[in-house]
Amino acid sequence: MVAENLQDTTTLHNGVKMPWFGLGVFKVEEGPELVNAVKTAIKHGYRSIDTAAIYENEAGVGLGIREGMKEAGISREDLFVTSKVWNADLGYESTKKAFETSLNKLGLEYLDLYLIHWPVEGKYKESWKALEELYKEGRVKAIGVSNFQIHHLEDLMEDADIKPMVNQVEYHPRLTQKELQAFCKEQGIQLEAWSPLMQGQLLDNEVLQEIGKKYNKTVAQVILRWDLQNGVVTIPKSTKEHRIVENASIFDFELTKEDMELIDSLNQNHRVGPDPDNFDF
């Protein structure tokens, strides 16, 4: 089933419902622009907000959430909020502490999804134990990972009591991650895309422009629709109201099988972000 509206959800393997579409806030600094972006997204029907400790903007996200909920007349249960533990805080005790810090900054009593941000060798298993406990205590509704390759997932699951519910990775038409997606599907792990628009680098791609003309849609809308039709949760980042609205206007058309395959064929295994097998932070 492909999402039919902005508030449609996928059901994670523990039964928690996660919106297919959300707002990312990577590199959006604390301040009115950030608060406004979150409020604007909620006003226009977004129900999922994704942040991380390393973005240093959890306080602003929290403020935007509170103001946005008030204005939209919705409750905390209507929203799906994600944050992530940073590499410097990996380890059992330090992850638990980092979680409390994130909650306090956000001003929330629980998170909907908490992720290990990067697979730092020798450290993520201890962190996973902490995530499992936070999950069992009901402090977080779902737990997962980010930037994990197949071998990282296999390694983690060897000792885990609970399988990750989500794996958030760089995913766009130049990096289609087919093997990883197939593995996650097989394991019941929901794949989620960060940088779905390749940080804007695909917006002048001629193949995508042609497809866009056919449906009277922008390149961004075509890519985000491709995400959803591939069964991938997506969280494009924007701070501008018209773009926040435009990004979400993807539920009134469907890409043909041929167009889906044409977009798949743009793959070059090309990353704009760090390589999860070779990073040093």
Once rounded to an integer, what is the mean pLDDT over residues 48-60? Answer: 97
Residue 36's nearest CA partner among 28, 26, 48, 27 is 28
Q: Nearest 5°: CA angle at 80, between 119 and 111?
A: 60
pLDDT at 84 over 90: yes
- How do residues 158-189 score in pLDDT, each as one tens digit? 999 999 999 999 999 999 999 999 999 999 99
pLDDT at 24 over 90: yes
Look-up of token digits 């924007």: 238
- What letter represents residue 49's amino acid? I
pLDDT at 1 over 80: no
Residues recognised as catalytic: 55
State the chain's mean pLDDT as an integer.
Answer: 97
Quickly state the pLDDT bin for 151 (edges 50, 70, 90).
Answer: very high
- How do residues 197-238 score in pLDDT, each as one tens digit? 999 999 999 999 999 999 999 999 999 999 999 999 999 999
Please report, rounded to a whole number, the percentage of residues in the chain having pLDDT higher than 70.
Answer: 100
Distance CA 77, CA 192 (A): 21
pLDDT at 274: 97
Domains of the chain, start order: 9-264 (3.20.20.100)
Once rounded to an integer, what is the mean pLDDT over residues 41-59? Answer: 97
pTM summary value? 0.97
Once rounded to an integer, what is the mean pLDDT over residues 66-92? Answer: 98
Once rounded to an integer, what is the mean pLDDT over residues 253-269? Answer: 98
Distance CA 95, CA 84 (A): 10
